[in-house]
Structure 1
Amino acid sequence: MRTIDRTLDLGPATPSLSLTARMMLAFVNVASIWRAIRNRREIHYLNELNDAQLRDIGLTRQDLDAALTTSTFFEDPSSHLTNSARRCTRPSAFSFRG
């Protein structure tokens, strides 16, 4: 008669998050959603500016529309506007006016 030893390898156990860690994670997620909603509302305020005022801050109406349409409701659209403003101002920063 033969006996075969079998072992079950479960690997290292992953510790569960503590209550404090779970609460902090939930707080960070809620704060992120709140920031995205607040920035979305601010973009609507930017839409009230005229074209010359938008140009002064390096944006166009198309940038505002694209920021709102390319991001989902819970994503922060402000990063799109930041990138658009940087692209718009970069060529003028290196041009010589003399």
Structure 2
Amino acid sequence: MRTTDRTLDLCIATPAPSLTTRMMLALANVASIWRAIRNRQEIHYLNELNDSQLRDIGLSRQDVNAALTTSTFFEDPSSHLTNSARRRTRPSAFSSFRG
């Protein structure tokens, strides 16, 4: 028998997710949205800090404003602040090791 005569029947259809799985996915989505809203409120509280206090935690006023304006309503803006603080601390951390 030649290879061109053979066909491979793949059953790729996936079964529909169970009700429990769908409920868990929906709950995870709601929790993610709730977390993003809560973090957005916390970032608004960061706007009340003065520049010296923001500098103590590795942020600037521009970082806080950029986090609020660049993220959509359902996105979590805290990841932007985390990345900004990490970028700011990396050069200073390495400069302290120089003799």
Same fold (TM over 0.5): yes
TM-score when scaled to structure 1? 0.85
**Which 4+ runs in 1 deviate beyond 2 A?**
9-13
Residue aligning to 1:6: none
Range with bigger deviation, 73-82 or 85-94: 85-94
TM-score when scaled to structure 2? 0.84
1:83 paired to 2:83: yes
CA RMSD of aligned residues (A): 1.9
Range with bigger deviation, 33-42 or 12-21: 12-21
Kindly state the Cα deviation for residue 91 of structure 1 after the two structures are TM-superposed.
1.1
Q: Which structure 1 residue ranges, 5 or more long, are not aligned? A: 1-8
In the alignment, the residues of structure 1 paired with residue 93 and residue 10 of structure 2 have an alpha-carbon distance, to the nearest angstrom, of 59
- The structure with the largest alpha-carbon Rg is 1
Residue aligning to 1:56: 56
In the alignment, the residues of structure 2 paired with residue 88 and residue 13 of structure 1 have an alpha-carbon distance, to the nearest angstrom, of 49
Residue aligning to 1:31: 31
In the alignment, the residues of structure 2 paired with residue 28 and residue 12 of structure 1 have an alpha-carbon distance, to the nearest angstrom, of 27
Structure 1 residues 11 and 52: alpha-carbon distance in aligned structure 2, compared to 1, 3 A threshold? same
Kindly state the Cα deviation for residue 95 of structure 1 after the two structures are TM-superposed.
1.6
In the alignment, the residues of structure 1 paired with residue 13 and residue 34 of structure 2 have an alpha-carbon distance, to the nearest angstrom, of 35
Percent identity at matched positions?
A: 84
| Residues matched between the structures, number | 90
Q: Which structure 2 residue ranges, 5 or more long, are not aligned? A: 1-8
In the alignment, the residues of structure 2 paired with residue 89 and residue 65 of structure 1 have an alpha-carbon distance, to the nearest angstrom, of 19
